[in-house]
Structure 1
Amino acid sequence: MYPQVFLLFSFFFIAAMQPSTNWHVKENAREHHTSKFSSEELIVRRGQGFTVTFNGAEQPEQNLIFIAETGSKPSKATKTLATFGISSSVSKEGWSAVLQSTSSSSVSISISSPHKAIIGRYKLSVQSGSSSPTTLGTFVLLFNPWSSGDDVFMPNKAECEEYVLEEFGIIFAGNKNHISSFGWNFGQFQGDILNICLSMMDRSLYYRQDPISDVSHRHDPKYLGRVLSAMVNANDDQGVVLGNWSGKFEGGKNPSSWTGSGEILQSWKKSGFQPVKYGQCWVFAAVLTTVLRCLGIPTRTITNFSSAHDADGNLRVDEFYDADGNHLERGADSVWNFHVWNESWFTRNDLGPSYSGWQVLDATPQEESGGIYQCGPASRHAIKEGEVDLDYDGPFVFAEVNADCMYWNYDSATGKKTLIFSKSTEIGDSISTKAVGRDARVDVTSDYKYEEGSAKERDIFKKARKKLGLEDKFDPTAPTQEEIEQKPDISGKFKVVGSLEVGKDLSLLLVLENLQSDAKTVNVNMTAWSTLYTRRPINEIWKDSISVTLAPKEEKQFPIKIKYPEYQQQLTTDKTIQVTALCHVVDGIQVLVQRNITLDNPAIDIQLLGEAKVNKELAVEVVFINPIDTEVTDCVLQVEGCGLLQGILELRFHLSALVILHLVLPLFLQYFTTETETLNFQTHFVQTKN
């Protein structure tokens, strides 16, 4: 009797024990390209097997049932709950478990999810026979661009490395005549970033309106891209970043001072999910890049120069100037020096295979789509072909890269406007992104439109207008064909002479040429305004006027110098100046000459002192020269780098006039970030007072 009691007691004791689960985190992470996540939780990619070992029965193939569930109300109907037993092979359609090995005390199983499984955090349980399910633990399932069955499959492995695993990026800015760049730490594998990205989905308007439906759609990168483009901005919900284009940033940070997404996302969480202040287009795009790469969707930033904001949806942007050449804020249309958005790579099952590939997403809150501030995904191929009637937001994206631009002279006293000239080749220039594996710029303009001014490009433009019903629509505010086809008597342009650097005088040449065979008298009104990068005028810097007579076919040059003290106090943090010359030709047509100028910050020189070795401290010398003959105070040097620093290093200092600053910074190289063992870190200098 005693042996039987002992055996009965032992059986119940073992059955009541919580199983010990070995998730083989390191081994699975290596196979699933998730080793960069700093998490003890298992993180894997869908459509690919992962190994789990736990204590269990001697004949598991006969009685073990696994349960994988996600969301607050998992169900088989919404594909948020799956039950599956042990099978001899991996299922192509659903979840499956294949026995790896078994012993008297443990079972090793390879679990595979379907290629279209919902992404997110799962609870995994096991049930033996008629007993109650026992929880093995949780794991996170992500998109899998390395798997050919996944909607985000990217066949080029180097591109997968760049657009999913690369934590450092280059974002292009400036203007079409003077393209600059700066680094950004996406940091998608840092600390708590994955949990923050998952919480973003659960805080969206889509989830709050219908959580069951929302979670059930999280298998679809098209759906999630649209949801997250809304969540990155704070306009309709408690999204991540609050936009500010006023030029004044009290109560928050100047958008230009951010150097990475990690600080922004962590601040959002620490504040109780209150919007982080402040962001502009590159901040929204960079944060969305971080979130989508973290979830496994290949994503990159795209910069469009001379980017149109077509507020009234007629594929035309109107700009207004007064008789003195001042740029007027009239109407909702605008042209930005540059605008940054995202491209994400996935199939478009809703549109057809020819529209798969790169999709445009834009988290900057410019116009509502479906009642909230979100944009995309719009197929890049559809944009190029003028298929603006396809989902989502095709007309707005098409206008950003290929609207026609109308320049008007506006008389505020009479309300009369006169077309100065129109230009079909002004919008969408030098569309740029970072090269794969290199810090170089790649021009992708030809992927968005055919060659400007070509017959094919004009045919596509007319096709887009026709699809939007604009060809036959009467618009009393539109210019007549006669106005558009007017030929000017003279031409003009501004040339830059010398460097474009903060602290230096700005030297230009106004070049005017008589195109006719008779002399022309021209009265020229010139202005220079500091602007935001959106070309919104802020402060008048300089103005002048001249009168000149041009002999037949004659060209003349007029030097212009704007001294640093004239623009020093007027310059915005965007460091942009618009110079305009409105030329009134006697008995002829007005001609507008303009140039948008972006000044460079003084360079920061970075040198490694010694050899870089993993897990060894590394000294880096930073050299900065104060370019002006005035002391600058309350300066901040921010340093941020993947695998080099924990968080952001900030140093504050003053600089005397024309002094060279030498700083030696200690960094700690935790790991090499790429196979070629290169170092990526960035510095950002902020002058807060002078």
Structure 2
Amino acid sequence: MGFIVMQSQAKDNFKYLFIRRRAAGGGLYTMMPVTFSRETLSAPWNACIDSNNSSPQKLSIFISSPAFASVGCYKFQLCLSTQDGRGSCVSGSFIVLCNPWCSEDAVFIPFEDEREEYVLSDSGLLFMGTQMNPVARPWSFDQYETGVLEACLDLLQISPQHQMNRTKDYLKRNNPVYISRVVSAMINSEDDRGVLKGNWSEDFKEGVNPSKWTGSGDILRQWAKFGHNPVKYGQCWVFAAVMCTVMRVLGIPCRVVTNFNSAHDTNANLVIEEHYSETGQKLNHSKDSIWNFHVWVECWMTRKDLGSDMNGWQVVDPTPQQRSEGVFCCGPAPVKAIKYQRVDLPYDIPFVYAEVNADVHTIIWSQGHVVSFSTDTERVGSFICTKAVGFPRLQNITGDYKPIKSSSSTLSSRSSTVSDDSTLSRANPSQGVTVLLTLDKSPVAGEPIRFSVKVTNRQRVAKKLIMHLNAQAKEYNNSPSDTFWENHGVLQLAPMEAKVLQQQIHPAQYKNVLGDNLINLAVVLEDTTTHERALAAEEFNIASPELIIKVADKDSIVLNKEHTATVTFINPFSHPISGVLTVAGSGLINGRTQFRMNSLRPGGKVEQRISFCPSVSGVKMLHASLSLSNTSITVRGFKMVSINSI
């Protein structure tokens, strides 16, 4: 793992020094002699005296731990015996973590820029929203903040594995596969005294709305402060971000990953069913679901248990969805195993494989009967991404999980088609009408949602069609709620004719569904002669306005000197707004700073000057969030700041 340096008072004419090391709180220990040269070190655990120390009254003792040392806090006792038989001992403690810089360590990652990003970086971006309009949410991992390291070590100590058999737990902590499973289970509180309590309802009055969290430090410190009672509340991106913090603290390279259109296949048949009414309203008729996005983490490690071809990134998911070996955890599942369908390997590969590969069956109902059926094999796992190394933007990693069939990514919906092997397909070998729904651009709060419906008559006879348009608000992981906008009409088509209909939803019509909600928009056409139905649907998010952060003299930011930034916001809404602005930044601001924003008229502009004093060098994130009063809307912004050491 590396060298641990300690200093001790030295005595003249000593006979020998030795160190007794043991896992803190456990019965595992070893004794090692203290030598005068690192070149003579050969045993797994070694210690030597720094012969270049200029002070005769102090000795610097280097302890060398092996690459397979278990992660945790160790106690040591340094004993000295003199020529005349006298002796004395001093004691202390040190912490051993995984070392991704050590080529012999199971978490070694060979590129320095990736170690900087996946281990050392204390801020990042979480991607949410939809594939066509990903939203980058800034997050502070806070691994260097006070109390975070201690909370991460507490997590290992109070895990059920440690409580049941401490010796066995200590011995297994040299394996990142084992550590990742323990941490995955301990991030959620379903089976233990885990960090976060999940809540996917709309009632957060007993805790914090998951959308309000901006960093891991507050969560981990609160969990430790209040007796390791679960913090309320978390959802998938919060679970994943906190796990990323814990893994980076423990020295295991980790990154947060978003899977857009993520399937939750409850019956493991690799099929997700979606149901619609004849007027385009999405129905809650299935336990299976497709989350618009789902967030997990990947950890980098070798897989000695599976073979070198499974080394590299491993999916680990702390969101409690399904039990693994009786516990709510998931992984580590090799990304390579998911791509090559090695569902015979551990851990939880079939579940993750379904999340990125399930087929979607869309069914239209009328008066209790199925009137249309279609299959989509491209929708699930259509886009998988993470933050790019060294840059505040996303990186497309879909190809790591699945062979890419199509590189196109547009605003067009998936037009319904009938699968070749379905009963309906054999009974109706051709559809008379096709429909395509297309958003004109990514919707932005305060502007109309403009979209087009293209209808094509594929037959040489005229058509009279009944058209139903329907919009429902939905959370990313649930079926939609009631319809908030609809439109109906009759359409005439000549033989082989195609028509494009322009539609829009005004801001006043969707203002009550803003926030973190998404929109399910659907169109259903019915041929009045044949009663055939055609459906097209799209789920999308409405982008919130952004906070603009500008840093004064951004190229001259230095340590321990006060600097300023300005946060600017322009009200895009048609009504006055007010709220609370919160600004934070690990290594830039101690804690967080809040400001009250009074009533701001439509189109009005407000600027807030911020002071910060960097305490560490490197690239840090200054991030701000504006929680609007009497709504669920939070406006966010961030700025990367480079701090020079001198």
Which of 380, 389, 399 does residue 446 from structure 1 map onto?
399
User: Is structure 2 residue 580 aligned with structure 1 residue 642?
Assistant: no
User: Is structure 2 residue 535 aligned with structure 1 residue 592?
Assistant: yes
User: Is structure 2 residue 106 aligned with structure 1 residue 163?
Assistant: no
**Structure 2 residue runs without a partner (length 5+):** 408-418, 632-646
Corresponding residue number in structure 2 for 1:341: 296
Instruction: Describe the shift of the 1:284–1:522 C-alpha distance in structure 2 as closer, same or farther (beyond 3 A).
Output: same
Once the 2 structures are TM-superposed, how far is the Cα of residue 192 of structure 1 from its aligned partner? 0.8
Once the 2 structures are TM-superposed, how far is the Cα of residue 127 of structure 1 from its aligned partner? 3.6
User: Is structure 2 residue 60 aligned with structure 1 residue 118?
Assistant: no
* TM-score, normalised with respect to structure 1: 0.83
8 Å CA contact 2:359–2:375 kept in 1: the answer is yes
Instruction: Describe the shift of the 1:72–1:158 C-alpha distance in structure 2 as closer, same or farther (beyond 3 A).
Output: same
Corresponding residue number in structure 2 for 1:49: 3
Corresponding residue number in structure 1 for 2:130: 175
* TM-score, normalised with respect to structure 2: 0.89
Separation in 2, partners of 1:431, 1:266:
31
Corresponding residue number in structure 2 for 1:554: 497
SS at match of 1:407: strand
8 Å CA contact 1:90–1:96 kept in 2: the answer is no
Provide the alpha-carbon RMSD of the alignment. Answer: 2.4
Instruction: Describe the shift of the 1:484–1:349 C-alpha distance in structure 2 as closer, same or farther (beyond 3 A).
Output: farther
Instruction: Describe the shift of the 1:179–1:105 C-alpha distance in structure 2 as closer, same or farther (beyond 3 A).
Output: closer
Which of 214, 220, 226 does residue 175 from structure 2 map onto?
220
Q: Which amino acid aligns with 1:507?
A: R
Corresponding residue number in structure 2 for 1:39: none
User: Is structure 2 residue 249 aligned with structure 1 residue 294?
Assistant: yes
Q: Over residues 511-565 of structure 1, what are the superposed CA-to-partner deviations in whole Å (9 max), with x where a residue is unaligned?
A: 2223344444332222100111124212421122222233333221222222222
User: Is structure 2 residue 515 aligned with structure 1 residue 567?
Assistant: no
- After TM superposition, list the pairs within 5 Å mapping 1:66-465 onto structure 2: 66-75=19-28, 81-87=29-35, 89=39, 91=41, 94-101=44-51, 105-128=57-80, 134-410=89-365, 414=368, 416-417=369-370, 420-452=373-405
Separation in 2, partners of 1:212, 1:403:
42
8 Å CA contact 1:69–1:124 kept in 2: the answer is yes
Q: Over residues 169-206 of structure 1, what are the superposed CA-to-partner deviations in whole Å (9 max), with x where a residue is unaligned?
A: 01111111112212111111111100000001112222
Separation in 2, partners of 1:63, 1:589:
92
Separation in 2, partners of 1:236, 1:479:
45
Corresponding residue number in structure 2 for 1:627: 572
Q: Which amino acid aligns with 1:84?
A: M
Q: Over residues 132-158 of structure 1, what are the superposed CA-to-partner deviations in whole Å (9 max), with x where a residue is unaligned?
A: 983431111111000000000011011
Which of 532, 536, 560 does residue 475 from structure 2 map onto?
532
Separation in 1, partners of 2:432, 2:43:
70
Separation in 2, partners of 1:163, 1:140:
20
Once the 2 structures are TM-superposed, how far is the Cα of residue 453 of structure 1 from its aligned partner? 7.0
What is the identity percentage for the equivalent residue pairs of Structure 1 and Structure 2?
34
Separation in 2, partners of 1:406, 1:670:
54
Separation in 2, partners of 1:336, 1:484:
28
Separation in 2, partners of 1:484, 1:94:
67
Once the 2 structures are TM-superposed, how far is the Cα of residue 56 of structure 1 from its aligned partner? 4.5
Q: Which amino acid aligns with 1:227?
A: V
Separation in 2, partners of 1:436, 1:59:
54
User: Is structure 2 residue 17 aligned with structure 1 residue 64?
Assistant: yes
Instruction: Describe the shift of the 1:59–1:146 C-alpha distance in structure 2 as closer, same or farther (beyond 3 A).
Output: farther
Q: Over residues 37-79 of structure 1, what are the superposed CA-to-partner deviations in whole Å (9 max), with x where a residue is unaligned?
A: xxxxxxxxx2x2233332346566x63331111142222xxxx
Corresponding residue number in structure 1 for 2:438: 495
Once the 2 structures are TM-superposed, how far is the Cα of residue 672 of structure 1 from its aligned partner? 2.9
Q: Over residues 325-365 of structure 1, what are the superposed CA-to-partner deviations in whole Å (9 max), with x where a residue is unaligned?
A: 21111222111111111011000011000001000011111
Q: Which moved more, 1:548-557 or 1:196-205?
A: 548-557
**Structure 1 residue runs without a partner (length 5+):** 1-45, 76-80, 455-477
Once the 2 structures are TM-superposed, how far is the Cα of residue 275 of structure 1 from its aligned partner? 1.5
Q: Which amino acid aligns with 2:577?
A: V
Corresponding residue number in structure 1 for 2:412: none
Once the 2 structures are TM-superposed, how far is the Cα of residue 671 of structure 1 from its aligned partner? 3.0
SS at match of 1:595: strand
Once the 2 structures are TM-superposed, how far is the Cα of residue 419 of structure 1 from its aligned partner? 5.3
8 Å CA contact 1:51–1:110 kept in 2: the answer is yes
Q: Which amino acid aligns with 2:7?
A: T
Instruction: Describe the shift of the 1:317–1:672 C-alpha distance in structure 2 as closer, same or farther (beyond 3 A).
Output: same
Q: Which amino acid aligns with 1:346?
A: M
8 Å CA contact 1:631–1:654 kept in 2: the answer is no
Corresponding residue number in structure 2 for 1:578: 520
User: Is structure 2 residue 626 aligned with structure 1 residue 685?
Assistant: yes
Q: Which amino acid aligns with 2:549?
A: I
SS at match of 2:618: coil
Corresponding residue number in structure 2 for 1:655: 599
Separation in 1, partners of 2:515, 2:420:
36
SS at match of 1:197: helix
Q: Which amino acid aligns with 2:466?
A: N
Separation in 2, partners of 1:613, 1:323:
63
Once the 2 structures are TM-superposed, how far is the Cα of residue 572 of structure 1 from its aligned partner? 5.2
Once the 2 structures are TM-superposed, how far is the Cα of residue 504 of structure 1 from its aligned partner? 2.4
Q: Which moved more, 1:49-58 or 1:118-127?
A: 49-58
Instruction: Describe the shift of the 1:239–1:407 C-alpha distance in structure 2 as closer, same or farther (beyond 3 A).
Output: same
- After TM superposition, list the pairs within 5 Å mapping 1:453-532 onto structure 2: 481-483=422-424, 487-497=430-440, 500-532=443-475
Q: Which amino acid aligns with 2:317?
A: D
8 Å CA contact 1:172–1:180 kept in 2: the answer is yes
Corresponding residue number in structure 2 for 1:23: none
8 Å CA contact 1:234–1:241 kept in 2: the answer is yes
Q: Which moved more, 1:323-332 or 1:299-308?
A: 323-332
Q: Which amino acid aligns with 2:500?
A: Q
Corresponding residue number in structure 1 for 2:641: none
Give the length in aligned residue pairs: 607
Q: Which amino acid aligns with 1:451?
A: I
Instruction: Describe the shift of the 1:356–1:532 C-alpha distance in structure 2 as closer, same or farther (beyond 3 A).
Output: same
Q: Which moved more, 1:571-580 or 1:253-262?
A: 571-580
Separation in 2, partners of 1:118, 1:434:
30
Q: Over residues 638-675 of structure 1, what are the superposed CA-to-partner deviations in whole Å (9 max), with x where a residue is unaligned?
A: 1111211111222222223212111111122223323x
Q: Which moved more, 1:100-109 or 1:231-240?
A: 100-109
8 Å CA contact 2:132–2:442 kept in 1: the answer is no
